[in-house]
Structure formats: C-alpha cells, structure tokens
Amino acid sequence: MSIDLSVWEIVIGLEVHTELATRTKLFCSAPNEFGGEPNTNIDPLTLGLPGSLPVLNEQAVELAIRVGLALNCKIDRSVFSRKNYFYPDQPTNYQISQFDLPINGEGWLELPSGKVIGIERAHLEEDTGKSTHVGGGGRIHDATYSLVDYNRAGVPLLEIVGRPDLRSGDEARAYVSELRAILVAVGASDGKMEEGSLRVDCNVSVRKHGDAELGTRCEIKNINSLRSLGRAVDYEAERQIDMILAGERIEQQTRHWNEDEGRTLKLRSKEQADDYRYFPEPDLVGLAPSQEWIDRVREALPLLPAARRHRLCERSGADTAQAALIVERGLDDLCLAALDCGADPSRTITHAEHNLSDPKALELDPEMFAKLTKMDADGDLSSTQTKTVLAELVQLGGDPGEIAEAHGFKAMDSGELDAVVDQLIAENPEQWQRFCEGDPKISGFFVGKVMKATQGQADGKVVASLLADRVPNAAKE
Amino acid sequence: MTEPTSQERTHTPASTSERITTEQVAKVAKLARLRLTDEELTRFTGQLGDVLEHAADLDLLDLEGVEPMAQPIPLANVFRKDVPGPILDRDEVLAVAPAAEDGFFRVPPVLGESE
Amino acid sequence: MSSAIDIAASVQSGERSALEVLEEHLGAIAERESEVHAFNLVTTDHAIAAATAVDELLAKGGPLGPLAGVPVAIKDNLCTRGVATTCSSKILEGWVPPYDATVVTRLAAAGAIMVGKTNMDEFAMGSSTENSAFGPTRNPHDLSRVPGGSSGGSAAAVAAGFAPISLGSDTGGSIRQPAALCGVVGVKPTYGTVSRLGLIAFGSSLDQVGPFANSVAEAALVCEVIGGHDPGDSTSLPQAFPAVSEHLSDGVAGMRIGLITEMMGEGIAPDVAKRIRAAAEWLAAAGAEVEEVSVPAVTFGLSAYYLVAPAEASSNLSRYDGVRYGLRVDAPTTGEMMELTRTAGFGDEVKRRIMLGTYALSAGYYDAFYGTALKVRTLIRRDFDAAYERFDALLSPTSPTTAFSFGDKTADPMSMYLNDVCTIATNLAGHPAMSVPYGLGADGMPVGAQVLAPALGEVAMFRVAAALEGSLS
C-alpha cells in the first residue's frame, strides 16, 4: 500500500448486522431457518398480507439485551418505527426498525490491543427477503427479470453501529473479529460471515493528521469476509487519497466491494438523503425491559473474550497477542485448568499458542497437559519429543509419561551431548570457522547433524546453546 | 445504516400555513409510487391544499411540552414466545400471485440497489 | 324480520332450523339487493354449508353458540378464508385470504352464518360509500341518498333486513355515521377491546371493528362475542369485553351525562340538533343529571385526524405494489410496474390520502404535520378525561346532517370530511362511542344520537343507549 500514514489518517466506522439465533422470526412464528426451498418459511406477516399484524418475539429481545450488556450499552425503553421505501424484497414496503429510541444505546468494546471502540447503538430490526436477478449474467442492471424469495424476510437482525474510532484495515478486522466472538459467546448469533449471518457495512473517510473535521465518507457494502474487510478499507482509503491529491472532491457514495477485482465500485450517490418517512409503528407497543429482566440476563452472561484475555494474562503471564489467540481458539479454560494442576505457565502458553490448533485440543485432559509441560520444563524431553507426545495426547489421550516411555523418549544426558557436539566441530572445521564468524545460516547445519547423530533425542535449543558456548571469546567481539 | 444520522429529519422550517405546491405534490406522488396526469396534479394540489389549510388551525394551539400520542392505549412489553407456528402453503400463495416461477415470486427487472 | 337474539333462541330450541332462517334472509337479499347494493359478494354456498353445520350440530345435541344460525354480513375489509376480500378496491383483484380475521372466527364459533361481504368506501376512506370501486350502496330508506360510510354496505344490509347484524370498522366514524344515516345501532368499541387481526388496515392506531344491529341488545351481544383479548394483536387489551348485556336495563337514574357544546352549534343541522336536545331532555326526565359540557380540543379533531389517519394509511397501503398478490399492471421494470399498478388500482380518494399522509411524514414536514397532530391527540384525550371526571357519558349528534344525496359532496373532499366532525375525536382518543337511532329529521330520514364514554366505559355507554332506545318504543 502506498498510503503515507505519517500524513494521512484513515477513519473507519462499521455497521454490523447480525441475524439473531432465534427459532422464529422477529414478529411472527414462521421459522428462522437458513437455506431451504424458496418461499417455504412464510406466513401472512412474512408476505405482508393484508390484515396481518406483528407480535414481538421475546427471545429476540432477550438476545438483543445480552448483546447490549456484552457491549456495555445502556438498555433503554425503545420504540419500533416504520422505515418506508419501495423494494420488492421488502414485503410491506416498509421495514420495522428502531429509529430514535433503540433498545441498546451508547456502549463500547475493547479490542485485544486494549484500544476501546465506541458503540453508538445496537437496535432490533427485521431482515428483507432476497432477490435473484435472472439473465444478464446475474448483474442487476442487465437482468431480464428477478425472482423473489421471502424466507429471510422478517428474520431478526441486530444492527450494531460502531463509532468512527477505527484507524486501519487491521483494526477494523480486529473489531469485527472481537464483535463476532462476543456474539457467539452470548449465543446471539452463529457469527458466520460467509453465510450472511454477520454482515458488515463499512464507512471509510480520510483526513490529514491533525484535521478536526472528518472527511466525506463512503459506505462499502458486500464485504463477506474479514480478509475482504481489510482489503476493501485499504483500497478505498487509497482511492480517496488519490482523488484528494488530484484535487478532486469526494462524493458521498454507497460503493460495492468487488472481491474478484479487488476494488470498490460506485452503487449510488448519497448526496441526496433518502426520505424514509420514519414514524412510530402503530401495530406494536413500546418495549421497556424491566430491571429484573436485565439483571437476570446480566447474571447469566458467560465470561466475555476481553475478560478471558485479562484473566489469562494475569494467571499465566501471557502477552496480549498470545492471550488473544488462545482465547479466540477457546483454549483459555484448558490453560487455566492446567495451571491449577501445577502446569508450567510459560510452557503452557507456548504450547497453546503453537501446538494446539487442532480442535480436538479442546478436549485435552488438563492434568495430563500440565504433567507434560512439567516434563518439558524439567528437560525430561527434548522439544521435538514434547511435540510428539503432545500430538499423541491430543489425538488419543493417555498419560504423557507413559507415551514418552512407549516411544523410548528421554532427554539426553548433557555429557553425552557435549561429546557429540565436540566431535562434530572437530569433523567440520570449515563450517565451524564460519559459525564462529557469525554466519547465521550455518547454525542449522550443526543442529541438524546433532539431531541426526542423536536420532532426534537432543533438544535443539540446548544444542544451540552448547554451540554458542564453544565459540572462542575473541570471535564474539 | 446509521439511522438518525443518515436521514436526519432536516427541520427546514415548515408551517401548516404554507400552501402546498404542484411541485411538492409531484414529489410526494413519486415517493408514493403514484403517477398523476397534469389534470390530476392540478386538481389534487388544490384539494390537498384545502385540507392542509383547514389543518392550519393547529397552529393556534400551544403545544409546548405536550407529549405526542402515537397510540391510544397504555400497553408495553407485549411478546410472543419463540415457538414456530403454522406456515402458508406455497402453492396456494403463488397461485394467486401476479407472476411466479420455480417457487419464487417473479417481477420485472429491478433497477437500483436494495437497502 | 326477527332479531339476532330471537333467531338464536329459536334455532337453539329447534323451533326453526338455521337453514330456514338463512333462506328467509337470502330471500330478502334476492328481493332488494339489486337496488340497495349492500354486498360486494353474497356468499350463498358458504352460508348454506355453515347453516347446515349448525343444524347438524343441534341434531347431535352439540352445544350451540349465542349467535346460532344468525345471518351476519361482514365488511369487505375483514379477511375471510377462501372468500375474496376486496376493500372495494381494484388493487386487491384476484386475492383470496388464506385466513379468517379473529372477529370472523369468533362469530363463526358463536354459530353466526356469514351471508356476504359488504360494500364500503375503498379501503374505508369515505363517508358515503361512493368511493367503492364497485359502485355505491344506496340508503334503504331512500335510494336516492347515500347510506353513509365507509361501512355503508354493512349499515344498509341491516337496515334492509338482509341480516340482523353485521360487522363494520370505524377509523373516524365509519360505523357510527352510516348507522345514523341508515337508522340502525352502530358501535365503535374502546381501542384494543376488539382484535384487529385480519382487519385490513387503514389507520392502525384508530381502526376498530364493531357491530351494526337493529337494537342495542343485539349490538351488545355481538360486542361480547367478538371482543376480548387476542394474542395475535399486540394492541389488544388483556381483559374480556366489558359485560354490557347484563346492564342494559339498569336505566340512567343518577347517571351524569354531558351534552357536548362544540357538537351542538355551528355546522349541525337544526333538525338534527333538535332531536339530540330532545334526547338530552328525555335522559334528564329519566333521572340522569344532564348538563352541557365543553370539550374544547375536539374542534381540532378533524385537522389532527386528516394528518394522522392518512400518514398511517400511506404506509399501510404501500404493500399493494403488484409483487405478491392482487392487481399487476405489467411494465419493463419493477419500479414502473409498482407505479402503474398503484395508479390503476387505487381510486382518487385513496390516492389523495396516500399523498396527504406521505407529505405529512416527509422530511422537513414531520414535525409541522404528523408530530403536531400526535400532540393534538394528547390534548383531545386530556379534554375528554376532564369531562369524564364530571360525567359518566357524553352525548352528541352522530352526524351533522341526515343522509345526503349522491354526488352532493364528491366534488369537494373537504365538505365530505366535515361529515366526520362529531365522530373523529373518539378515535383519536381511543374511546368507545355508539350511535343509536333517535327519530327522524325534517326530511323524514333517520337521526342518530351519539353516546360517548371513557376508555372501557362501555357499560355506561350501553346503559344510556338502551335508555334512549327505550324512550322511543
């Protein structure tokens, strides 16, 4: 990327729509199911039939409260409104949403880096149906006709509106990743971005560092993965900076991310505000969750990712990046349980970070894992042997001591290893000379030779340190 | 979209005493997906103007501090349990649809993008 | 023709079969429907099947409901499963509801027999039934005059003896005004006491279903059958409909009744006002304390109503777009298809109100129009509340005039809207009100007295109405 970040600041605000994991739709009892034959999850309200009326799904409210609490939002009395616009996948030509009074107001979310991102609101609304454009290669403007499926119409959505506090594509990704972890942790959503249960609209603007005003923003739609999010932000920021440098004015637009071409394309101008004619939905009554309800939900909330990270760092000495990874993999409970069984903290974290990416690791017996970390720390096994034992422990379970014995593993006697190292130095004077001169590439040569000679029983790190010890002092200076 | 900021209710000063114009009626008709002939536009503008002129009597009222009443009943927190109920028979529904194909509702090409 | 109560009793006792009762009413329909045009559809086959089922149930000794074998006419904005429901609009052409409105289900469960779907002003927008896409209904008392509206067909059906009872809907007077003009009883219950599920919406915060009947007692019975909580309507109140039938003969002695000053002066025809004064005098003679009372904010009702109701309607009617059901006028794009469909499918009055409502909600005008109107609702409610601190019920004319002639008010929508001046405030407040016939005007046409009560004050309202009815017999 050619953006000079010492001059330019990228400002990103995300609007994330998440489908709530209820059994039925937001305002009617038709099933909330993904996929399936078109127009099968439909009832009178789903189709906007004359005379149909909405009744609010209690579970959708419960899930919205869970998310609100997890995002530190103020849960308030709220009102549903109608947002009026004509579009064939909107069965009544109005969307029931929350406008001036959302269920969740002002909150915040903490990224693994420790940065806090503001949440403006997280409100309930209904999803639309889906249109398929037929002919013209599926492109909307060239289609010969369109087909509409209302299965998705009325599915409960929570729209989480973030403050424009994000400053890079990586930060935007970290935000969505964190949000997704929270949504999954509280059971509000399956978090599947590719299946559309998590949809991200991304507002990007640029300005020079020190500018007080925000630049004109563009909204990017159709971002279907975290990877696309980072790419789209970078592309869009660069596009806007190029325009400014060329003396052009940024127009407020909605743009479409094209994954194949790796660029954003203009969908429509937003200079003229749409007139949605919001007004309070007269078919629904107010929503004012009682304090008892909110307290009950709060008490039942699971520990959230940020709290898990803090706990892990405190107990194990893991750094923030390690904690983020381990919590994301859901291995923090295992690590803490292992520590309770006397595991070596540093080895525990190292193994969780590097050697436990297999989902089966979640079922690891913490006591056995702890035992292995101790054997490792005590030098009973070489690092290669430790990995082998751990892999077997993950796949088959058992006792690490017995597994090591079955493999005939034991760490080499240090005297034995000294002899091997000395012999190799003697046999390879030319290479040793280069090693002493500090050629970094040659270290592997010796380690490899030692491993071969010891049939893998030596510990690579120990070998490296033995080699370093043998370099004459003069060569070190 | 960020609801309150994307469609700010631009409170351009409006008064019930301003007579509605043909341009405004034409704009409203477009918003409401209605097509008016010139004759209709003139006639409707006059008729809507009469109604709005009558409504100008509301300007006489002191509404300072009066809460709006969107609904006449004091209900709140009316819920439904999250339990699936009956669904409609697709064939029955599509049989009375203006156009259908392969289980879908069929419409002419859509110009412009969805929300 | 016998009353609904007599019919149910005779069917229950086996004195008459439901089928015999039905044939009698189908006979009346055959005789006069062509000149009255109360119905969009007479559901003969459906009715015969339903009447036969009631008779079979009786033969089996099964329990019969309180309306066993009673023919009922249903306004054509109430959904009826398998029976076309049109709202008297071309836009719903070809649509058949796959479900019954809750009130229709409850009537059927009580043994009532639907004989047809009644004509109305398109989407219930109008006061004369002249806005029907299928031609107007005529007043059975004088075929050159309108029956009122929007539930003109339901009022005329009862007045003509096509059915002893019928259902209408009332958003700004659409039950009470045609009841007055046709000389029958019409009730607009408290908002939330009768389910709106299956009622095709006009102004959702104002709409309420209610009955027409030839007597207060029949109307009371129908309210009790159709009313009460419905979990399918979020705005449905949790309680049962007030038990009105058992209080009909309580009389008015000791009741405090207010005659609304603002509804007795300018704009009210002198012969109508005279009848209402006579009603007030009779109530006083019957032992009620009757006084004039001012409810100042009601004079702003018309203005507030013609912003609130169209605003809600503009949104409620946006679903008619040619995509899923009803009329479609084909076009090269969906946007044009929607526009041409709506342009062809809606009549002028519906278009006017959609545009008015769209305007009232649009950016820059919301506060001045819709927002203001909602505040005026609060004022109206307050002024009524103040009056109900002193009075158990209020009295006024239902309509400023007796039935007018066809075409009298169609050229000037505002003159038509002024017809609702006495009925509208009730809907804005969510209160109950009913019209009971109280003699004839100078032209020999029926005059209706309107009895108003606070929310859930139906017992007081029906007591007054029953007393007025009794004074005439």
Is residue A198 within a helix (H) or strand (E), and if so which, with residue range? Answer: strand A198-208
Q: What pairs with residue C433 in β-bridges?
A: C188, C452
What are the tokens at A96?
């029931």
Cα-based angle B45, B51, B54 (whole degrees, multiple of 5): 135
Task: Assess whether pLDDT exceeds 50 at residue C398.
Answer: yes
Q: Would residue B113 be called left, alpha or beta, if left means φ above 0 and alpha means ψ between -120 and 50 degrees?
A: beta
Shortest CA gap B39–chain A (Å): 26
Chains contacting C (3 or more CB pairs within 8 Å):
A, B
Q: Do C334 and B109 touch (CB under 8 A)?
A: yes
Going by DSSP bridges, is the β-strand pair A80-84/A263-269 parallel, antiparallel, or unpaired?
Answer: unpaired
Instruction: Determine contact: B31 vs chain A, CB below 8 A.
Output: yes
Instruction: Determine contact: A266 vs chain B, CB below 8 A.
Output: no
What values do phi and psi take at C203, rounded to 5?
A: -120, 100
Going by DSSP bridges, is the β-strand pair C446-452/C433-440 parallel, antiparallel, or unpaired?
Answer: antiparallel
Provide the pLDDT for residue A475.
54
Amino acid at C431: H
What are the tokens at B24?
């405004």
Residues C84-109 pLDDT 10s: 999 999 999 999 999 999 999 999 99
Residue C345: half-sphere exposure toward Cβ, Cα within 13 Å: 28
For the residues B18-41, what does the mean pLDDT come to? 95
Q: Do C197 and A283 touch (CB under 8 A)?
A: no
Instruction: Determine contact: A110 vs chain B, CB below 8 A.
Output: no
Instruction: Write the CA distances from A288 to A77, A83, A101, A104, C387, integer angstroms.
Output: 4, 21, 11, 11, 31
Contacts of A152 (CB under 8 A, 6+ apart): A127, A128, A129, A130
Band of pLDDT at residue B3, cut at 50, 70 and 90: very low
Instruction: Determine contact: A36 vs chain B, CB below 8 A.
Output: no
How far is A63 from A163, CA to CA, in rounded Å?
22
How far is A306 from A117, CA to CA, in rounded Å?
13
Going by DSSP bridges, is the β-strand pair C208-213/C185-188 parallel, antiparallel, or unpaired?
Answer: antiparallel
How far is A143 from A134, CA to CA, in rounded Å?
5
Which of C197, C323, C335 faces A53 most closely, judged by CB atoms? C197
User: How much is the ipTM here?
Assistant: 0.97
Contacts of C408 (CB under 8 A, 6+ apart): C146
Which of 23-62 (B) contact C at CB < 8 A? 24-25, 28-29, 31-35, 44, 47-48, 50-52, 54-58, 61
Provide the pLDDT for residue B4.
37
What values do phi and psi take at A146, rounded to 5?
A: -130, 150
Task: Assess whether pLDDT exceeds 60 at residue C404.
Answer: yes
Question: In chain A, what are the domains?
Answer: 8-298 (no CATH), 303-407 (no CATH), 414-476 (1.10.10)
Which of A57, A89, A277 faces B114 most closely, judged by CB atoms? A89
Q: Which of C129, C157, C147, C135 is nearest to C73 (CA)?
A: C157
Provide the pLDDT for residue B11.
38
Provide the pLDDT for residue A440.
74
Chain centre distance of CA C20: 28
Amino acid at C354: I
Which of C328, C375, C381 faces B63 most closely, judged by CB atoms? C375
Provide the pLDDT for residue A138.
59
Residues B47-57 pLDDT 10s: 999 999 999 99
Nearest CA in chain B to C231: B80
Task: Assess whether pLDDT exceeds 80 at residue B1.
Answer: no
Chain centre distance of CA C9: 26
Report residues of chain A scoring pLDDT below 70. 1-2, 137-141, 411-414, 474-477
For the residues C138-165, what does the mean pLDDT come to? 98
Q: Which range (A370-384, B84-98, C136-150, C303-317) has the least confidence?
A: A370-384
Q: Which residue in this structure is represented by tokens 């809750």?
A: C102
Contacts of C96 (CB under 8 A, 6+ apart): B96, C82, C83, C84, C85
How far is A329 from A462, CA to CA, in rounded Å?
30
Q: Following CA atoms A316, A322, A323, A326 in sequence, which dihedral angle do they give, to the nearest 10 degrees?
A: -100
Provide the pLDDT for residue B8.
40
For the residues C436-462, what does the mean pLDDT come to? 98
Helices H / strands E in chain C, number of each: 15, 11
Nearest CA in chain A to B6: A273
Question: Own/partner pairs for C136-139, CB < 8 Å, 24+ apart?
Answer: C136/C37, C136/C406, C137/C36, C137/C37, C137/C38, C138/C35, C138/C36, C138/C37, C139/C181, C139/C182, C139/C403, C139/C445
Going through B16-114 in order, the beta strands assigned E by DSSP cover 79-80, 100-101, 104-107
Q: Do A41 and B87 touch (CB under 8 A)?
A: yes
How far is C168 from C177, CA to CA, in rounded Å?
11
Provide the pLDDT for residue A196.
87
Q: What is the mean pLDDT of chain C?
A: 97
* Secondary structure in 3-state letters for A128-197: CCEEEEECHHHCHHHCCEEEEECCCCCCEEEEEEECCCECCHHHHHHHHHHHHHHHHHCCCCCCCCCCCC
Residue among A147, A252, A270 with most chain B CBs within 10 A, to mutate: A147
Contacts of C358 (CB under 8 A, 6+ apart): A277, B28, B31, B32, C314
- Tell me the chain A residues in contact with residue B88 when contact means C-beta distances shorter than 8 Å: 42-44, 47
Residues C30-87 pLDDT 10s: 999 999 999 999 999 999 999 999 999 999 998 999 999 999 999 999 999 999 999 9
Q: Which of A284, A251, A271 is nearest to A99 (CA)?
A: A284
Task: Assess whether pLDDT exceeds 50 at residue B9.
Answer: no
How far is C131 from A281, CA to CA, in rounded Å?
27
What values do phi and psi take at A122, rounded to 5?
A: -145, 105
Provide the pLDDT for residue C211.
98
Q: Do A87 and B102 touch (CB under 8 A)?
A: no
- Tell me the chain C residues in contact with residue A86 when contact means C-beta distances shorter than 8 Å: 318, 321, 335, 338
Q: Which residue in this structure is represented by tokens 């039935």?
A: C403
Instruction: Write the CA distances from C341 to A276, B14, C399, integer angstroms.
Output: 21, 32, 35
Q: Do B87 and A42 touch (CB under 8 A)?
A: yes
Instruction: Write the CA distances from A173 to A191, A198, C78, integer angstroms.
Output: 14, 13, 52
Q: Do C372 and B16 touch (CB under 8 A)?
A: yes
Positive or negative, the CA dihedral C189, C193, C195, C200 is positive
Helices A320-328 and A305-316, axial angle in degrees (round to 10): 130
Instruction: Determine contact: B100 vs chain C, CB below 8 A.
Output: no
Residue C103 burial by Cβ neighbours in a 10 Å radius (0-12, 13-18, 19+): buried
Amino acid at B98: P
Chain centre distance of CA A72: 19
Instruction: Determine contact: A407 vs chain B, CB below 8 A.
Output: no
DSSP A199: E
Provide the pLDDT for residue B60.
87
Instruction: Determine contact: B89 vs chain A, CB below 8 A.
Output: no
pTM (2 d.p.)? 0.90
How far is A48 from B82, CA to CA, in rounded Å?
20
Residue among B69, B75, B83, B90 with most chain C CBs within 10 A, to mutate: B69
Residue among A144, A283, A287 with most chain C CBs within 10 A, to mutate: A283
Instruction: Determine contact: C352 vs chain B, CB below 8 A.
Output: yes
Instruction: Write the CA distances from B24 to A474, C9, C175, integer angstroms.
Output: 92, 60, 34
Cα-based angle A454, A455, A460 (whole degrees, multiple of 5): 65
Q: Which of C315, A454, A393 is nearest to B70 (CA)?
A: C315
- Tell me the chain C residues in contact with residue B26 when contact means C-beta distances shorter than 8 Å: none
Question: In chain B, what are the domains?
Answer: 14-59 (1.10.20)
Cα-based angle C262, C263, C266 (whole degrees, multiple of 5): 80
Band of pLDDT at residue B115, cut at 50, 70 and 90: very low
Cα-based angle C29, C34, C39 (whole degrees, multiple of 5): 65
Q: Which range (A138-142, A270-274, B99-103, C448-452) has the least confidence?
A: A138-142
Q: Do C318 and A50 touch (CB under 8 A)?
A: no
Instruction: Determine contact: B43 vs chain A, CB below 8 A.
Output: no
Residues A138-148 pLDDT 10s: 566 677 899 99
Q: Which of A223, A20, A48 is nearest to A124 (CA)?
A: A20
How far is C406 from C137, CA to CA, in rounded Å?
10
Positive or negative, the CA dihedral A366, A369, A371, A377 is negative
Residue A295 burial by Cβ neighbours in a 10 Å radius (0-12, 13-18, 19+): exposed
Q: Do A57 and B33 touch (CB under 8 A)?
A: no
First and final C-alpha spacing in chain C:
17
Q: Count the residues in chain A.
A: 477
Q: Which of C103, C120, C125 is nearest to C112 (CA)?
A: C103
Residues C226-261 pLDDT 10s: 999 999 999 999 999 999 999 999 999 999 999 999
Q: Do C99 and A47 touch (CB under 8 A)?
A: no
Task: Assess whether pLDDT exceeds 50 at residue B2.
Answer: no
Residue among C99, C365, C383, C420 with most chain B CBs within 10 A, to mutate: C365
Active site residues of C: 75, 150, 174
Answer for the pair C156, C421: CB distance below 8 angstroms, yes or no.
no
Contacts of B37 (CB under 8 A, 6+ apart): none
C154 against B8, higher pLDDT: C154
Band of pLDDT at residue B114, cut at 50, 70 and 90: very low
Q: Do C334 and A146 touch (CB under 8 A)?
A: yes
Nearest CA in chain B to A275: B7
Is residue B22 within a helix (H) or strand (E), and if so which, with residue range? Answer: helix B22-31
Instruction: Determine contact: C168 vs chain A, CB below 8 A.
Output: no
Contacts of C16 (CB under 8 A, 6+ apart): C7, C10, C69
Instruction: Determine contact: B113 vs chain A, CB below 8 A.
Output: yes
Positive or negative, the CA dihedral B56, B57, B62, B64 is negative
Shortest CA gap C321–chain A (Å): 8
Question: In chain C, what are the domains?
Answer: 4-247 (3.90.1300.10)
- Tell me the chain B residues in contact with residue C379 when contact means C-beta distances shorter than 8 Å: 61, 63, 66
Going by DSSP bridges, is the β-strand pair C289-293/C256-260 parallel, antiparallel, or unpaired?
Answer: parallel
What are the tokens at B114?
């969805």
